[in-house]
A and B are shown apart, each in its own frame.
Chain A
Amino acid sequence: MKIIGLIISVLTGAMLVYAAADFPAWSDPSSPASTYLSPHFIEKTMEETSVPNIVTAVLADYRSFDTMFETAVIFSAGLVCFFLLRTTRRKESETETTHYRHTLTGVTIQIKEGHTLPPSDEFERIDSLWTPSGLIIKTSCRLLVPFIQLFGLYVIAHGHYSPGGGFQGGVILGASIIMLAISYDLRTIIERISEKMVAVLCAVGVLIFSGTGALCLLLGVNFLDYNALAPILLVDPLTARSHAILIVEIGVGVAVMTTMIWLYCNLSSAGKYNQGL
């Protein structure tokens, strides 16, 4: 089986190299892309989509089919990680023990499964493997997280005018929440954004993107032809293209952010979701 896999990958690689030799040279001014496509995008982007940033216009409008499936790929990456790692059943021999620390004295106690601690403020739950970071790291992460999230939203919303967009903004948003999980512990973020919520939001992100495309289809034009959304968004067709780009970028951002959190939670807790880095 291994040998067959090796042969297939070597053959695919050889075919890729063989095909890559036929590409036009780097920055060849007479290649088809430079003679027809690039001038069209450079000259017409502003009047066709009213988006100053050509990269965003190409990514989310001219070539949005590709971007939609990129989002779907990211969603399926999160889904695959979930299916491979998430464990809900435990072995018979394994019993879950939880650890609590008495905040005043620092004494750690271990509670076996089936027993509970009487409710009191003096004990805090701790992980058995991971000691949370110190006060300095916690405080400055708490200080920085809102600004990082604000910047992530800015990157998503400002993708029309400056470098940025859904993917980058989504990664920044996801990283801010992962930073919270590293400086505190995994339970802190699961309390704020549960596993179910993450999974649902991840699918909703893809749904926003493909739903925008399907809405165009329902209104009688091609898939992802944003001009048709003008009556719904109450603007002229040009501005509708610009606004629809923002809508799909929001979808991409939601999908990317939640996929990052999903991957992190599954990987760091080995699919158990009880404790982790």
Chain B
Amino acid sequence: MDIIVCVLLFAGLFFFTGGAVGILRFPDFYSRLHPAGKLDTLGSLLTMTAFALYNLHHFSLGALLTSSKMILIIVFVFVASPTATHAIVDAGVRAGLEPWTSGEKRR
């Protein structure tokens, strides 16, 4: 059990780190939203799953309730976070922001 929790936590942290690096390193608005939307969602999914599993160490009805609340958080993050990213990209397109092409300067 502990091993699974550790693996999930480290995988989540790995994706979070990748997301942070991506937000800092990518050249423009749209490409920066790419790691922000994808990797942060996956990172929080994995870490929250690890928390929910770890919480079930001492099994009781209360712990099960808490874990199922965490699962609910996972579901809502999974629905809401990519949608928010999509909405931001949509707003960028409507405002007329041109995507970055190779060879241009970072902005």
Which of B65-107 touch A at CB < 8 Å?
76, 79-80, 83, 86-87, 90, 94
Residue A134 is within 8 A (CB to CB) of chain B in the complex: yes
Name the residue of chain B whose CB is nearest to the CB of A147.
B76
> Are B76 and A137 interface neighbours, CB within 8 A?
no
B80 close to A133 (CB less than 8 A): no
Which A residues between 99 and 156 are near B, CB-CB below 8 angstroms? 131, 133-134, 136-137, 140-141, 143-144, 147
Q: Are A140 and B83 in contact (CB under 8 A)?
A: yes
Q: Are B80 and A140 neighbours in the complex by a CB distance under 8 Å? A: yes
Interface size on A, residues (CB 8 A): 10
Cβ contact within 8 Å between A143 and B79 = yes
For chain B, give the interface size range: under 10
- A133 contact set on B, CB distance < 8 A: 87, 90
Complex CA gap A190/B94 in Å reads 25
A interface SS class: helix
Question: For the complex, what is the distance from the CA of A137 to the CA of B84, rounded to whole Å?
Answer: 8
Contact A136 B79 (CB under 8 A): no
Contacts of A140 in B (CB 8 A): 79-80, 83
CA distance A133 to B80 in the complex (A): 15
- The residue on B at minimum CB distance from A182 is B87
Which B residues are in CB contact (< 8 Å) with A131?
A: 94
B86 x A136 contact (CB < 8 A): yes
**Inter-subunit contact A134/B83 (CB<8 Å):** no
Is B76 within 8 A of A136, CB to CB?
no
Whether A137 lies near B79 (C-beta < 8 A) is no
Q: Mark B12-36, 1 if CB is under 8 A from A, else 0.
A: 0000000000000000000000000
Are A144's CB and B86's CB within 8 A? Answer: no
Q: Decide if B80 touches A137 in the complex (CB within 8 Å).
A: no
Q: How many Å lie between the Cα of A143 and that of B82 in the bound state? A: 14
- Cα distance A184–B22 when bound, in Å? 32
A144 touches B87 (CB 8 A): no
Partner of B86 from A137, A143, A147 at Cβ < 8 Å: A137
Across the interface, name the chain B residue whose C-beta is closest to A138: B83
List which A67-107 residues lie within 8 A (CB) of chain B.
none
Distance in Å from the Cβ of A155 to the closest Cβ of chain B? 14
User: Given A137, A141, A143, A147, which contacts B90 in the complex, CB threshold below 8 Å?
Assistant: A137
A133 to B76, CA, bound (A): 20
Find out whether the CB atom of B79 lies under 8 angstroms from the CB atom of A134. Answer: no
Q: How far is the CA of A136 from the CA of B86 in the complex (A)?
A: 8
7 closest Cβ contacts across the A-B interface? Answer: A140-B83, A137-B87, A140-B79, A136-B86, A137-B83, A144-B80, A143-B79
Partner-A contacts on B (CB < 8 A): 76, 79-80, 83, 86-87, 90, 94
A-B residue pairs in contact (CB < 8 Å), sample of 20: A131-B94, A133-B87, A133-B90, A134-B86, A134-B90, A136-B83, A136-B86, A137-B83, A137-B86, A137-B87, A137-B90, A140-B79, A140-B80, A140-B83, A141-B83, A143-B79, A144-B76, A144-B79, A144-B80, A147-B76
